[in-house]
Amino acid sequence: MIAAIRHDWSRDEVERLFALPFNDLLFQAQTVHRQYHDPNAVQVSTLLSIKTGGCPEDCAYCPQAARYATGVKAEKLMSVEAVLAKAQAAKDAGASRFCMGAAWRAPKDRDVAKVAEIVGAVKALGLQTCATLGMLSGPQADTLKAAGLDFYNHNIDTSPDYYGEVIHTRDMQDRLDTLEHVRAAGMKTCCGGIVGMGESRAQRAGLLQTLANLPEHPESVPINRLVQVAGTPLAGTEALDPFEFVRSIAVARLLMPASVVRLSAGRESMDDALQALCFAAGANSIFYGEKLLTTGNPDVEHDRRLFERLGLKPMEVAFEPGTVHADIVEPAHA
Ligand code: SAM
Ligand code: DTB
Ligand code: SF4
């Protein structure tokens, strides 16, 4: 039976998935993964911080918050030319999507106008475009869409019942409002969260349940493993059991069968075997290139070799939600 696209997951159901024996969970996730995706294709995105540091928010994980002494220097928005050079290099290295991040709480309209110019230029290189700039108003989302922005990344970060432990300068509803503006403008959403921030398993279930019960599943779901940065309040948090991370990927795959699930931040501290397990659990996207925003990522050669060893290939064309992997007939989209 083909997995249905559901938006009515209960916390209990999600917790029961987390509690399955590891092999049963992976088997279920792999089965669903193959119904909706080519199991050997991985979408490849490259990230660039186009405006680094100096952020007024207090996200407890983030090296770019001005209030934490993390050694990240605040910089101005990059020029169109400088971003384009990085985008071209990402394309030449094999990325299909270019994601631009800015350490803003919310951009001003004049910032959006500048980013719109950058987006148009990156898009003209033939790359898919993604941006993550903080909270957006409806008109700002429309401007970015008109400039050619394909995806907007805005994470809910954690379960509603853990959110207050991590962020105090904006609430969950602000995030949901931005996601609504992005969808209304006709852009695809990239929305996920971070695990390993000291939350309980029930709260990891709460994060994934909240994502799956959004009005539409995000087309892209980044699952980040906390990158612990000295100076942030979450530095020193007890490390998450690696198998619990794999379980989080598998449950995300089961709850959002058609979405692309990204094995996102945290790969630099994962060995190849753990990453292979994440792909087996249903992850089918990575960030590619030596840097995330301010922290490190595996080097390109290492990732190429890993793809080779696992028989993975870069996903050529963006996965269009709603399409089902070719050899499956009669998709049962609920
Ligand atoms: N400032 C904008 C915002 O917060 O919406 C956009 C950039 S922000 C850095 C994008 C996302 O990166 C955050 O929502 C968070 O999920 C992720 N992130 C930031 N720091 C991280 C860390 N140390 N480990 C894992 N993920 C992190
Ligand atoms: C997402 O979910 N993860 C990316 C992207 N969206 C923008 C960011 C990860 C940042 C990791 C910490 C850093 O490099 O500053
Ligand atoms: Fe600022 Fe975004 Fe970092 Fe929060 S996650 S401190 S909003 S850059």
- Ordered DSSP codes for 160-229: TTTHHHH--SS-HHHHHHHHHHHHHTTPEEE--EEE-SS--HHHHHHHHHHHHTSSS--SEEEEEEP---
| C-alpha closest to that of 261 among 328, 315, 332, 301 | 315
**Structure confidence by residue, pLDDT tens digits, 283-325:** 999 999 989 999 999 999 999 999 999 999 999 754 443 344 3
Distance separating alpha carbons of residues 102 and 78, to the nearest angstrom: 10
Gap from CA of 172 to ligand 2 centroid (Å) = 18
pTM for the predicted model, two decimal places? 0.94
Of all protein residues, the one whose alpha carbon is nearest to atom 2 of ligand 3 is 103
Q: Which ligand 1 atom lies nearest to the CA of residue 229? A: 23
What phi, psi does 211 have (nearest 5°)? -65, -45
Tokens of 216: 């539409």
Confidence of residue 327 (pLDDT cuts 50, 70, 90): very low
Of all protein residues, the one whose alpha carbon is nearest to atom 8 of ligand 3 is 103
Gap from CA of 64 to ligand 3 centroid (Å) = 6
Residues contacting 127, CB < 8 A, separation 6+: 87, 90, 91, 95, 96, 97, 98
**Structure confidence by residue, pLDDT tens digits, 41-73:** 999 999 999 999 999 999 999 999 999 999 999
What phi, psi does 287 have (nearest 5°)? -90, 135
**Ligand 2 lined by 70 (C-beta under 6 Å):** no
Mean of the pLDDT values across residues 242-253?
A: 98
Distance separating alpha carbons of residues 64 and 67, to the nearest angstrom: 9
Gap from CA of 333 to ligand 1 centroid (Å) = 32
Of all protein residues, the one whose alpha carbon is nearest to atom 2 of ligand 2 is 222
What is the model's pLDDT at position 317? 57
**Structure confidence by residue, pLDDT tens digits, 184-203:** 999 999 999 999 999 999 99
Q: How far, in whole angstroms, is CA 31 from its chain's centroid? A: 22
Distance separating alpha carbons of residues 261 and 255, to the nearest angstrom: 11
Distance separating alpha carbons of residues 185 and 192, to the nearest angstrom: 20
